[in-house]
Amino acid sequence: MALILGIETSCDETAASVTRDGRQVLSNVIYTQIALHEVYGGVVPEIASRRHIDKIIWVIDAAVREAGIAKDELDAVAVTYNPGLVGALLVGVSAAKALAYGLGKPLVPVNHIHGHVAANYIAHPSLEPPFVCLVASGGHSHILNVKDYRDFEILGATTDDAAGEAFDKAARVLGLGYPGGPKLNKLAESGDPAAIRFPRPRNGFDFSFSGLKTAVINYVHNAEQKGGGYSRADVAASFQQAVADVLVENTVAAAKSVGAKAVALAGGVAANTALRSAMDAAARAEGLRFYCPPIELCTDNGAMISCAGYYNYMAGVCADLTLNADPELKIM
């Protein structure tokens, strides 16, 4: 039995969780900074780092307390060390190092993207690799062939904006504010996804969202200049449908190309209701099993880091106290 503390501070959530054997969540504490960054229309890195410093000890203590264990019962301390905002990552990494050193326990480095994939293991206790996973977040969008718990192959990726970034920018054009994804998702519920035919650029299993973003901006500006008005809900629904179509078609095609039997969703954008139902339907039509974490495990959290940390720990992947925060986007 292994009790792993997972710490996550790569962006705007200060989070910690204790899991047992990777799959059983004993606690999952998330302090979200959304309200702090809302007034600026996006995450301000320096403000995020400072708030992580204020909250990290409180969040870790709460995670251990809610798990009903003592700190010295932990088997390892896992932490997101890349990719992310470097100053934000550094807070989690420093706290994890101090704790691991103080407790005399292994320090386990975790890649944030591996963490997102691992959210599926928590949600679906019987799920095992191989499967193909679409990881779509604010900073990265990849179609991964998950060959084993720690063996990933990139099948496709965005060539420009990440899917979440596209949602956030489209939401800004529609005056919805930050964080754009959930707000646009809500507005789209009352719109017609077939009202406007936005572009759906794909190249092999890669995809691109900057042209789609420009198309939304142009549509809104044209409509405003003509003074005729337009339906914000229709723009939101049509944009969301275009993103979902591209992601679903590429993920399913990529899954078929490697003979996968199952597809999964992960990352903040996996919280999108249109994407979830479109992927579910497409997977069903192709005879693929479909997995998706609940919404609270799609966006950043400590449980996914604890779970990915468990598989690293079992594979003997540990870091020494020279571990540093690494902002660079890497999968392996």
Q: By C-beta, is 215 or 271 nearer to ligand KG4?
A: 271
E strands, 37-192, are: 76-82, 107-111, 131-136, 141-148, 151-157
Burial grade of 230 (CB within 10 A; 0-12, 13-18, 19 or more): middle
Q: Which of residues 103-142 bind ligand KG4 (CB under 6 A)?
A: 137-139
The three-state secondary structure class of 78 is strand
Residues 299-318 touching ligand KG4, rule: CB under 6 A, are 299-300
Among 51, 96, 105, 168, binds ligand KG4 (CB under 6 A): 168
Minimum distance of ligand KG4 from residue 185's CB (angstroms): 4
Pairing of strands 151-157, 141-148: antiparallel
* Smaller CB separation from ligand KG4, 10 or 27: 10
**Which amino acid makes up residue 316?**
G
- Positions 253 through 272 that interact with ligand KG4 (CB under 6 A): 267-269, 271-272
* Site size for Zn ion (CB under 5 A): 2
Whole-angstrom Cα distance, residue 28 to residue 303? 6
Tokens of 270: 């996996």
**Closer Cβ to ligand KG4, 99 or 171, answer by number:** 171
End-to-end CA, the chain: 27
Binding segment for ligand KG4 (CB under 6 A), chosen from 65-73, 86-94, 177-185, 323-331, is 177-185
- Which among Zn ion, ligand KG4, none contacts residue 167 (Cβ within 5 to 8 A by kind)? ligand KG4
Question: What would the two tokens of residue 273 be?
Answer: 């209701």
Least Å from the CB of residue 178 to ligand KG4: 8
Q: Going by C-beta distance under 8 Å and a sequence separation of 6 or more, which residues neighbour residue 70?
A: 64
User: Quick one: which segment of 33-41, 134-142, 200-208, 285-293 binds Zn ion (CB under 5 A)?
Assistant: 134-142
Q: Which residues contact 215 (CB under 8 A, 6 or more apart)?
A: 198, 199
Of 94, 120, 137, 241, the residue at the interface with Zn ion (CB under 5 A) is 137
- Positive or negative torsion for Cα 319, 321, 322, 325: positive
Binding track, positions 284-313, relative to Zn ion; x by CB under 5 A = ----------------x-------------
Point out which residues bind ligand KG4 (CB under 6 A): 11, 137-139, 164, 167-168, 179-182, 185, 267-269, 271-272, 299-300
